Chains A and B, each alone.
Chain A
């Protein structure tokens, strides 16, 4: 009976986290399209519901009632597993995101490594989808994206090391608390820029959306998918984008801390600040999509390996020597 109680409590907590995340993902798709449209002087989705807010709901309904087509020559088990894996991985990473000092589902010691591990697993959904489709364009898209995501993970990892040097802990809550005096975006501003661009590449957002470059590859790894399975890829992708925004705001923008530690601001609950920062970063993501043309593949690889990797490695050395010289290294 006791076990059952614990399980129910945990399930309740998980639902309390997952349902808002999923609703936000749906809303954020609308926001993305809306920002994109406004940059290009269009209206964007504005018909369904007030300001078109229910557009994502209508889209989801459409996907649910569409037929799921599984190609005859595909590898069926892996073909069905791929979108499930993408969606699951995008959602389980939210378990360690702290929304305030005590509002966190799993306050684990190695939170940042957990997020990094889960986001590095995300590439499997794409590879599996591309390979199992047994078709040329999806396979090309999958190969491209595997190379791309692995390369940009390296620089993201080294950027995370930069932040960890200043914190001295792998716990996400400790990372946020370490920014009480100064957000890391100020001393580590170049790394914030590199992180933002790497996050764009890691989540296959434009200008790095080569895995699904529609002019060359139809729709990349998603070409053979239809109906709800396509929608799962799509939801997983946006959940990943949100996760990267959350990670960016925790690492550099002070997570759930209020921008100014004064009376009216620090009374606002931390969750609101975190959501506000996530939305801010997401609007930047959406703006980049609207204003930057797509990279060529060799340019993308060059940017990752020849520019970002040396830059972030140099910054690690700089940060470490600065902290060491001024005796600022965090102690345990």
Chain B
């Protein structure tokens, strides 16, 4: 039990510190790395409480896919240039009030959520989520695909719609761009590409493209 407590505190301290470092660190790429560290320590906490499936899915989805895309975008940004734009130049400082407004709204929402929190009395007695007979993954599946099937399907549909929406918004057919056509490339034959010419000495050949 002592080892359990030690590991819990280690992971939660890492989680909290890295969450703070995400907002504090000046280099955007560093803050993404701290975000990843945060995800990893939280998935460790999930595993410690017995929710092994959730912990692993957290690693696969958030760390393995989402954070990679974050990193991808952040690395492409020219951070130094934008810092100047946001914080130093006067004309673009209109971003700051909007940001403050949004963060204030989120702050009050958090207060409302935490204020409405009620402790479940028997939660203190159960140390983990493992029931004796079936594994965490099985029990999750049994609940998710029976009682909550509609909510599960609807959330899937929402994700699909979001994906299609993102594709539709960013997709544009550009004119005049040279594209590779695989069918054309594969079905090329020797007779189209190579031609044997009789070249007279000192004359040269005119080739039309």
A binding-site residues for B, Cβ under 8 Å: 3, 78, 108-110, 113-114, 116-117, 120-121, 123-124, 127-128, 131, 139, 143, 146-147, 150, 153, 157, 170, 298-299, 302, 332
Contact = CB atoms under 8 A, between A and B. Distances in A.
Given A127-B68, A139-B75, 8 more contacts: A109-B137, A113-B53, A120-B59, A120-B65, A124-B68, A127-B75, A146-B71, A170-B137
A140 B68 CA distance: 15
B106 interface: no
Nearest to A130: B75
Nearest to B36: A124
Nearest to A112: B56
A151 to B, nearest CB: 10
B93 interface: no
Contacts of A143: 72, 75
B28 to A, nearest CB: 11
Given A3-B3, A146-B72, A121 B137 contact: no
Given A113-B53, A146-B71, A121 B64 contact: yes
Nearest to B57: A113
B71 A127 contact: yes
Interface in B86-126: none
B187 interface: no
A117 B182 contact: no
Contacts of B59: 117, 120-121
Given A116-B60, A117-B56, A298-B180, A109 B136 contact: yes
B32 to A, nearest CB: 10
Interface residues of B, number: 25
A120 B137 CA distance: 20
Contacts of B53: 110, 113, 170
Nearest to A115: B56
Contact of A109 (B64, B65, B68, B135): B135
B60 A146 contact: no
B89 to A, nearest CB: 26
Contacts of A113: 53, 56-57, 60
Interface string B25-63: 000010001001000000000000000110011011001
Nearest to A124: B36
Nearest to A118: B59
A172 B69 CA distance: 30
A127 B135 CA distance: 35
Contact of A108 (B52, B64, B71, B138): B52
B134 interface: yes
Given A298-B180, A332-B134, A332-B138, A120 B60 contact: yes
Contacts of A110: 52-53, 56, 137
Contacts of B72: 143, 146-147
B137 A78 contact: no
27 contacts: A78-B33, A108-B52, A109-B52, A110-B53, A110-B56, A113-B53, A113-B56, A113-B57, A114-B56, A117-B56, A117-B60, A120-B60, A120-B65, A121-B59, A121-B63, A121-B64, A123-B68, A131-B75, A139-B75, A143-B75, A146-B68, A146-B71, A150-B68, A150-B69, A153-B64, A170-B53, A332-B138
Nearest to A109: B135
Contacts of A123: 64, 68
A121 B68 CA distance: 9
A144 to B, nearest CB: 11
The 4 closest A-B pairs by CB, nearest first: A120-B64, A113-B56, A117-B59, A109-B135
Contacts of A157: 60
B75 A120 contact: no
A150 B36 contact: no
Contacts of A150: 64-65, 68-69
Contacts of B57: 113
A26 B65 CA distance: 31
A113 B43 CA distance: 13
